[in-house]
Amino acid sequence: MYGNDGLLGEVEAAEEALRDAAGRQVSGSEGLEEYFTAVIEADQKIEPRDWMPDSYRKTLIRQIAQHAHSEIIGMQPEGNWISRAPSLKRKAILLAKVQDEAGHGLYLYAAAETLGVSRDELVQMLLEGRQKYSSIFNYPTLTWADVGAIGWLVDGAAIVNQVPLCRCSYGPYARAMIRICKEESFHQRQGYEILHTLAHGTDGQKALAQDSVNRWWYPSLAMFGPPDADSTHSAQSMAWKIKRFSNDELRQRFVDMCVQQAEVLGLTLPDPDLRWNEERQAYDYTQPDYDELKRVISGDGPCNRQRMAHRRGAHAEGAWVREAAAAYAKKRSR
């Protein structure tokens, strides 16, 4: 019914492959660069102790940090609904979900730190606007149904994008992604269940669910990034096996997955041109507005300013906690 069992199977397979790749068997290469290339070609993992090109390191830091920041900023839109969830059970579930996102941020910052950059530096770059976070978290959560739409569509898009990252060539990132994907899959199901309940409720509840899907559909498609022709990093990231599929390939996979799920929900996707293409064995669909994506990425989305102001405020308010933790660590080390 939920349609992501296949994706979970891919995560299991990637986990097994990771164990094999850990016992690395590439040998006999001459220089450092040749060895790096041989490891990538053999589909084994680059580890923190290995030599790697500076540009590979920089690309990973950029992507992993952006991903970590997204998890942390991504707590805000849903956090907005914790105190207003319609029942104690819904509140407890949402609280746990939002807490999971903090955990994902933590795994990812830890993975980025293995590349020689500290979490403090990364957070500082986010606060100063020198690093990005996902466009999707700059849209507002206007109703309770939006919590369902985020789970179904945003977490759904996140899994489709992230399952291939479980096979990423950099070991610490791949290992973090295995755990994250398993949890994201659960998140997607909780969102789907919220929407399913609303869609099978009163006419008013169904209308609420439909309205949220109408608002979140295109921003979710835009999460996959610019179209391949405009994607600056894809070719190099795919050659390094950081990315395994292009932005457009994953977007298509997501659309194909959602169509059947929407049918089960009894909701429509807001695209009059969505139809099955027999020749391509995939759905034709309307592309999201990529100019809007550019605007949102560059800081001019509906909630960019609010999200960053909140993050800066939370960081400042948490200063005493960081100071206390540092003082305690110092005392213990003495």
How many other β-carbons are positioned within 10 Å of the β-carbon of residue 229? Answer: 8
Q: Which is nearer to ligand FAQ, 135 or 261 (CB)?
A: 135
Candidates 25-33, 69-77, 79-87, 139-147; binding stretch for ligand FAQ (CB under 6 A): 69-77
Instruction: Specify whether the CB–CB gap between 165 and 158 falls below 8 A.
Output: no
The enclosing H or E element of 275 equals: strand 275-277
Task: Please give the residue whose beta carbon sits closest to ligand FAQ in the complex.
Answer: 74
Question: Which residues inside 85-144 make contact with ligand FAQ, applying CB under 6 A?
Answer: 101, 132, 134-135
Query: Which parts of the chain fold into alpha helices (H)?
Result: 5-22, 32-41, 54-73, 75-79, 88-113, 119-127, 145-149, 156-162, 171-199, 203-222, 234-239, 247-265, 290-297, 304-317, 319-333
**CA separation for the pair 254, 246 (Å, rounded):** 13
**CA separation for the pair 118, 131 (Å, rounded):** 14
Q: Which is nearer to ligand FAQ, 45 or 97 (CB)?
A: 97
Q: Which is nearer to ligand FAQ, 171 or 225 (CB)?
A: 225
- 188 near ligand FAQ, judged by CB under 6 A: no
- 304 near ligand FAQ, judged by CB under 6 A: no
Question: Which residues inside 29-68 make contact with ligand FAQ, applying CB under 6 A?
Answer: 62-63, 66-67
- 155 near ligand FAQ, judged by CB under 6 A: yes
Closest alpha carbon to 29 in 40, 21, 18, 19: 40
What is the residue type of 62? Answer: R
Q: Which is nearer to ligand FAQ, 160 or 265 (CB)?
A: 160
* CA distances (Å), origin 17, targets 22, 135, 164, 227: 9, 32, 12, 30
- 333 near ligand FAQ, judged by CB under 6 A: no
Question: Which residues inside 218-257 make contact with ligand FAQ, applying CB under 6 A?
Answer: 222-226, 231-234, 237, 243, 247
Q: Which residues contact ligand FAQ (rule: CB under 6 A)?
A: 62-63, 66-67, 70-71, 74, 101, 132, 134-135, 150, 154-155, 158, 161-162, 222-226, 231-234, 237, 243, 247, 297
